[in-house]
Structure 1
Amino acid sequence: MSEHVALLTTGGTIASSRDEHGVSRPVAGAGIDLEGVRVREVMSKDSSALDFWDLDTIRTAVAGALTEDGCVGVVVLHGTDTMEESALYVDLFHDDERPVVFTGAQRTADHPDPDGPGNIAAAVAAAQSERGVLIAFGGRLLPARGAIKMHTTELDAFRSAALLRPKPLQWKPVAGIRVDVVALYPGADGVQIDACVDAGASGIVLEALGSGNTNARVVRAVKHAVDAGVHVVVTTRVPFGETSPTYGGGGGGHDLLNAGAVFSRELRAGQARIQLAALIASEASAMVVHNSFS
């Protein structure tokens, strides 16, 4: 069977058009006809509407495409809102030398000057020559791990911290697992953390301040959550740079560490949540969770 790139469509702006009111909506079928590319529609959803069931579906579709005879790589068309989460999810379990390349668009398919075709061409080229799980977008080819969307509208929207990949995990579905993200701010208290625990969260990701800091009230809530068996991971709202549990004073990163929280050194909240869910699904111990983020 001839070599080919498997192109999986999931929806997003790249597969959307604007209605008479100017509202963008996903439409079925991407209308892609490229030599050496086999297109398969996985779903047609805006990425902001995806849940863990959908991430399991995307990962399963990628794994299935790689079993096809002649498949040299996979391209996933995806909305930009949560592309970094889905790309990392696939990356966490990817143990194949062949590449998986995520791409999408900032402009709809019916835009007078769409960016989707160029991104697709770059992604297909990468799927024929690169390795690992990548994001091809706006002229950049970025590792999935450490990627974040940095701008809401610019065509060159993504950046990546280009972090080293850990050993791939054995895949187990994350559907049904609850991991919440709590954004911290000056004057925050423990109400949201307590609510997550009461709602049955198995994990909580804190988007903390600076290098991973907060206040004493939040630290007390974190200790309560950890004592209740909930994994708590600390990230930061700062786009790049390492977190560091060095500050004390009752609400610093050192205090969060003493309360039982784990510091995500460089993964930001969106990707940290995905990694934590995957680790919980694999029934990882607290020590394994700690080592996975450090």
Structure 2
Amino acid sequence: MDSETKEASSGIEADMTRIVVLATGGTISSRQHSEGGSRAKDNAADLIAALDKHGFDDFGPGIALEPQDLGVQNSFNFAFADLSRIAHAVAEILHREDVDGVVVTHGTDTMEETLALLGFTHDDPRPVVLTGAQRSPDHPDSDGPRNLRDAILTAASPDSREQGVLLVFGGEIHAALGLRKAHTLAPQPFRHRSAGALGTITGLSPRFFTRALWAEPLPLPDHEFERQRVDMVLGYPGADATLLRAAVDAGATGVIVLGAGAGNPGSALVQAIQEAIAQGVLVGLGTRTGGGPVAVIYGGGGAVDAVAAGAVPLGDLPATQARILMALLSSTHPVEEARELLAARLTSAG
């Protein structure tokens, strides 16, 4: 693929499928740094150029790539403001009628949060596809070029329309919501709590087994979203109210309590949940396990008591993604209304 095909131009590519590659950093762009360790470095044009170098420029005719950059950093440094910038950048790109899809390259560490924000707010039938890498471009077996090629093919496929936001990674296609990074180093680190992949990349063809559910979109985040504080508190043997009270004292508008098993926090945390709710804090009840939904089964300090105290069970939604939803709702609604909307959204998703 030559440079004229890859870069946006007027007139020449009018009949082509135009995919914008929006780079934000992450392992897919990281290289060894003189001060030690890998750091994000490559921009979108570098990532596209690497497709040629590694032999993954075999899209077939009709796809034009346009590089855009939105900072180059590793996603473990992201805050709500960074996630908001990505969501607004994607929305701005999709204001253009000449764009057929967007691919966002992103670090895997907090990709599930950005997937959540985009998944909750995306309101366009054109696909938004996130991807990244587990091995950097200076690694002898980097997975970035293949993942990027597969993401571009998926974004360009008519079958991806009206499926909301997708993740393409390790040859698989996943829905944005319900997804979490479940392994530190595996070539395919992402997994849904209770579901599987939507499809796979076979050769140069994305193949869907099923379609993603696409809920009613929420408004894009504003500056109030960026100011939200939503903390997470882990339940464990001997856990008391100290950390949850500290979160409330620090100004948290929301807290997620990650209970043991199916979401059982223990009696001390149930008492703290009740106190937090009395102070106007939105409380979600999650599970510290890696799979399965929150299930309201046990009393005596279990999920039954936590829900009776006012916590909202998060169902299948990972706590990392529920945190984004809670921040969105808390930024635009009073706490009681936010609690009702949170419960309704989670019920409809289940």
Which bin holds the TM-score, normalised by the shorter protein? over 0.9
Q: Deviations over 1:117-171 (max 9, x none)?
A: 0000010011011132011001111000001111111111111245744311122
* One-letter amino acid matched to 2:245: D
User: Which residue number in structure 1 is paired with residue 153 of structure 2?
Assistant: 125
On the 8 A contact 2:325/2:342 being kept in 1, the answer is no
Trace 1:2-13 onto structure 2 (pairs within 5 A).
Answer: 2=14, 3-13=17-27
On the 8 A contact 1:209/1:236 being kept in 2, the answer is yes
User: Which residue number in structure 2 is paired with residue 46 of structure 1?
Assistant: 74
CA distance in 2 between partners of 1:44 and 1:17 (Å): 12
Trace 1:153-232 onto structure 2 (pairs within 5 A).
Answer: 153-160=185-192, 161-162=194-195, 164-173=213-222, 174-232=225-283
CA distance in 1 between partners of 2:167 and 2:42 (Å): 23
Return the match for 2:343 from 276, 282, 290: 290
Trace 1:31-180 onto structure 2 (pairs within 5 A).
Answer: 31=46, 32-33=48-49, 36-129=64-157, 130-131=160-161, 132-160=164-192, 161-162=194-195, 164-173=213-222, 174-180=225-231
* One-letter amino acid matched to 2:325: Q
User: Which residue number in structure 2 is paired with residue 15 of structure 1?
Assistant: 29
Gaps of 5+ in 2: 1-10, 50-56, 58-62, 196-211
CA distance in 1 between partners of 2:90 and 2:220 (Å): 13
On the 8 A contact 1:172/1:282 being kept in 2, the answer is no
TM-score, normalised with respect to structure 2 = 0.81
User: Which structure has the bigger radius of gyration?
Assistant: 2
CA distance in 1 between partners of 2:185 and 2:36 (Å): 16
* One-letter amino acid matched to 1:181: M
CA distance in 2 between partners of 1:282 and 1:137 (Å): 33
Task: Tell which deviates more after alignment, 146-155 or 14-23.
Answer: 14-23
Question: SS state of the match for residue 86, structure 2?
Answer: helix
CA distance in 1 between partners of 2:323 and 2:235 (Å): 15
* One-letter amino acid matched to 2:344: N
User: Which residue number in structure 1 is paired with residue 6 of structure 2?
Assistant: none
Return the match for 1:239 from 282, 290, 304: 290
On the 8 A contact 2:326/2:342 being kept in 1, the answer is yes
By how many angstroms is 1:178 displaced?
A: 0.7
On the 8 A contact 1:145/1:165 being kept in 2, the answer is no
Q: Deviations over 1:86-120 (max 9, x none)?
A: 01100101111110000000011111111000000
CA distance in 1 between partners of 2:345 and 2:103 (Å): 27
User: Which residue number in structure 2 is paired with residue 26 of structure 1?
Assistant: 40
By how many angstroms is 1:207 displaced?
A: 1.4
Trace 1:229-268 onto structure 2 (pairs within 5 A).
Answer: 229-249=280-300, 251-268=301-318
* One-letter amino acid matched to 1:169: L
By how many angstroms is 1:221 displaced?
A: 0.4
Q: Deviations over 1:20-78 (max 9, x none)?
A: 57511111524024661101011111100000000110001100111123111100000
* One-letter amino acid matched to 1:36: A
On the 8 A contact 2:19/2:64 being kept in 1, the answer is yes
Give the share of equivalent positions with the same residue, in percent. Answer: 41
TM-score, normalised with respect to structure 1 = 0.96
Trace 1:265-280 onto structure 2 (pairs within 5 A).
Answer: 265-280=315-330
By how many angstroms is 1:291 displaced?
A: 1.3
The 1:23–1:107 alpha-carbon spacing in structure 2 relative to 1, beyond 3 Å, is same
| RMSD of Structure 2 on Structure 1 (CA) | 1.5
